[in-house]
Structure 1
């Protein structure tokens, strides 16, 4: 009986050892196989990180270049501003006062310069066109303007042909409206145009225009 038990253990122990070794080998294989897969995955991730790092380095270099360019532009702008400030501080020579002997000449020259900016009124040419004496800046020469309307315009600061020629239609209508409903029949749309022809001395054109338009209407 003892001999038989020994025979059983002789073949059972190696079998158990083999099974245990097989299980350990399987587990060790799975363990090492998993580790090698993880190593490959980590390598891919490291490669991506390196690529991202290289891109960031390139972007940083570009940013540094932009900063350098910006600094240069600021320096150029500061230099330009300094030149402008220096130029504005240049003292202009004071005008030389005219001598006593030249005082009258200077006054005449100033008066001539002032009158040259305005067109000269030619009364003879106006009389030849209208067949009557024409007074300068007579607003009644404009077709549609009578003595009362002329007074209204002068009360509102429009006293000359030039001022009337520069007045807009809205302004003319507002002045008319101050007179009440009795002036609603008047149409001031052509008055600045007629006043401009008066101011510029275009008498023949004005006469022709007034003959072709009834009551000064465009």
Structure 2
């Protein structure tokens, strides 16, 4: 009988200790949340970055899934310029974007306007191919050359967008830009 009573007391003490520990943990969590209210801002920023990365990943997956493997490929001659560059087809670009697109117009890249395009031209980056081969760090240096007002732009995706334009992936570029336009705040 004394073993049953001691077991009962052990269970009661263990239960009370668990309840007290839970309450203390809850209180510490509440105090910490009130002392650092800026976490919600950081969390929102991280969620936005996560959404952008997921959209980029989805775009890459779509591009991979639409690319045929060598076994599935059909022999289709590639129409190219003299220097093995893909042929610019303005009608396909217009079909995807709903407006006329000029070849090597850097403004087709989401985030680049006339002033930023001029900055890139100053660095002798005048074509989609040249921009696609430019690192994001170099793009940031180009922006920094224009002064403080251009430093707020994020050029991380610009080389990738320029590569899609250069290679004539107009539908994928338009879809990617539409996804990212919807995510602006």
TM-score, normalising length: structure 1: 0.46
Query: Cα distance 1:113–1:183, how it changes in 2: closer, same or farther (>3 A)?
Result: closer
Q: Counting helix residues as a fraction of each chain, which structure ranks higher?
A: 1
Of structures 1 and 2, the one scoring higher in RCO (CA 8 A, sep 6+) is 2
Kindly state the Cα deviation for residue 115 of structure 1 after the two structures are TM-superposed: 1.4
Query: Which of 89, 107, 110 pairs up with 1:143?
Result: 110
Matched ranges for 1:66-145 at <5 A:
115-145=82-112
CA shift digits 1:154-208 (9 cap, x unpaired)? 1101000000000001110001001111112100000000000000000000010
- Is the CA contact 2:80–2:87 (under 8 Å) kept in the aligned structure 1? no
Kindly state the Cα deviation for residue 214 of structure 1 after the two structures are TM-superposed: 3.2
- Is the CA contact 1:152–1:175 (under 8 Å) kept in the aligned structure 2? yes
> What SS does structure 1 have at the residue aligned with 2:153?
coil
Q: Which runs of 5+ in 2 are unaligned?
A: 1-78
4+ residue runs over 4 A deviation: none
- Is the CA contact 1:119–1:199 (under 8 Å) kept in the aligned structure 2? yes
CA distance in 2, matches of 1:197, 1:157: 20
Query: Which of 155, 164, 177 pairs up with 1:188?
Result: 155
CA shift digits 1:79-113 (9 cap, x unpaired)? xxxxxxxxxxxxxxxxxxxxxxxxxxxxxxxxx99
CA distance in 2, matches of 1:146, 1:132: 16
Q: What is the Cα-based RMSD across aligned positions, in Å?
A: 2.1
- Is the CA contact 1:143–1:215 (under 8 Å) kept in the aligned structure 2? no
TM-score, normalising length: structure 2: 0.54
Asked whether 1:203 is paired with 2:170, we answer: yes
